[in-house]
Amino acid sequence: MLAASVAVLDVAGGQGIENGGLARLGRADDGEVHATPPFTPPRVRASSARGQGTIILGVYMTAERALPQLEADRLRDELNRFSGSVRIVTFLSPTCPMCREGQAVVRGIFEKASTTDLRGFVVWLPMLPRDSAETAVTQSQAFQDRRVIQGWDAERRIGDLFAKTLKLTRTAWDVYLLYPPDVTWK
């Protein structure tokens, strides 16, 4: 995960640019770029504005990873692999305000319970017009925990599968399921 999403490079009078490259990068946090697997090194997007001979160059750090496409078979295998643990499964829209609130509640549970006997699974679904794989990546970064697996269900297949099981009339979303140890998906 990146430590901060925005870095700013202030280039006054051409200083800071050497041979067409960036010579100095200032960060909004501790001055370091933090990227941990499964992230790749950050991509840099730049924009500039001219003002009285000074170029201000804004550099935005973004993670170049996408959430894995989550298939029902993989979710089943992962749920069963951790069958000795309590498991929380959520179905969330990345731009839905209620889903974001629910994500914060689940994050709070994980922050309070440091046990490895708690596992989480977040299924991101495109339910609202602005939902996309990119908005899911952005929202997933608000809740990073080694005990949580997050994935993108672009076709809503898992959401529709759980809707049938739960006897819902539409795709399961803004849904939070809690499974006790020893319950398996067959």
The reply to whether 175 falls in a domain is yes
Residues 79, 119 within the same domain: yes
**Total count of domains within the chain:** 2
Q: Which domain covers residue 36, as residue numbers?
A: 6-62
Which pLDDT score is estimated for 66?
Answer: 82
Which pLDDT score is estimated for 124?
Answer: 98
The reply to whether 67 falls in a domain is no
Which pLDDT score is estimated for 49?
Answer: 54
**Contact (Cβ atoms closer than 8 angstroms) between residue 63 and residue 42:** yes
Residues 83, 173 within the same domain: yes
Residues 106, 171 within the same domain: yes
Residues 5-50: tens digit of each pLDDT: 333 333 344 444 333 333 333 333 444 333 333 333 344 444 445 5
CA angle (159, 176, 166) in 5-degree steps: 55
CATH number at residue 161: 3.40.30.10
Closest CA to 62 of 3, 21, 146: 3
Which pLDDT score is estimated for 186?
Answer: 87
Question: pTM of the predicted model, to two decimals?
Answer: 0.67
Residues 42, 108 within the same domain: no
Amino acid at 147: R
Q: What single string gives the DSSP state of each residue in 6-35?
A: EEEEEESTTTTEETTEE---EESSSS----
Q: For residues 145 and 119, give the distance between their C-alpha atoms in angstroms, rounded to a whole number.
A: 9
* H helix or E strand, kind and range, residue 148: strand 148-152
- Average pLDDT, whole number, for the chain? 77
Residues 130, 172 within the same domain: yes
Residue 135, pLDDT > 90, answer yes
The reply to whether 31 falls in a domain is yes
Residues 142, 170 within the same domain: yes
Which pLDDT score is estimated for 72?
Answer: 96
Residues 47, 88 within the same domain: no
Which pLDDT score is estimated for 54?
Answer: 42
Residues 54, 78 within the same domain: no
Which of 62, 81, 110 is a domain's end point? 62
Residue 88, pLDDT > 50, answer yes
